[in-house]
Homo-oligomer: A and B are copies of this chain.
Amino acid sequence: MEASRDISVIELRVNYSETDQMGVVYHAWYLVWCDVARTEHLRRTGMTYADLERRGIRLAVGEARVRYRQPAKYDDLIQVRCWVRDLASRRIIFGYAIDDSASGRLLATAETSLMVLDQDFNWNRLPADVAQLLPVAADPVRL
């Protein structure tokens, strides 16, 4: 998968720690992969999540949904595509597609809704300069 202007791609290799005794990746790790992809998607804008925290903004996961289609396996290279599905002043919805690098097969799709909070976990608003850096992309796959 190639990155487009509004969809970023990272590549990860499945580690032994992520497998379970079914011989596939344990389902909770996909949320961590989405987090890694989201962090890199933000970094591409020139503003990291660490920068946001320093400005007193926290993005906290308010909802997460994952659809598991094919199992990821030990030592596989996988790619995670990430994009902004929707953007409002108080929340950002990110979409994710997890693909097997070798075969290009879609392994999973996911969506997380991030709440814009301040340091005391109260609602906050996304600053306009930040919102501008996050173009909304059409879903490249059905979530």
Interface residues of A (CB under 8 A from B): 13, 15-17, 19-24, 26-29, 31-32, 35-36, 39, 48-50, 58, 60-68, 71, 74-75, 121
Contacts and interface: CB of A to CB of B under 8 A. Distances in A.
A25 to B, nearest CB: 9
A32 B20 contact: no
15 contacts: A17-B32, A21-B74, A24-B121, A27-B31, A28-B31, A28-B35, A39-B75, A50-B75, A60-B68, A60-B71, A61-B68, A63-B66, A63-B67, A64-B66, A65-B65
Nearest to A71: B121
B22 A26 contact: no
A29 B62 CA distance: 14
Contacts of A28: 17, 28-29, 31-32, 35
Contacts of A20: 16-17, 19-21
A21 B16 contact: yes
Given A16-B20, A27-B61, A48-B75, 19 more contacts: A13-B36, A15-B35, A15-B36, A16-B49, A17-B28, A19-B20, A22-B58, A24-B121, A27-B64, A28-B31, A39-B75, A50-B75, A60-B68, A60-B71, A62-B68, A63-B65, A63-B68, A64-B66, A65-B65
Contacts of A23: 21
A18 B27 CA distance: 12
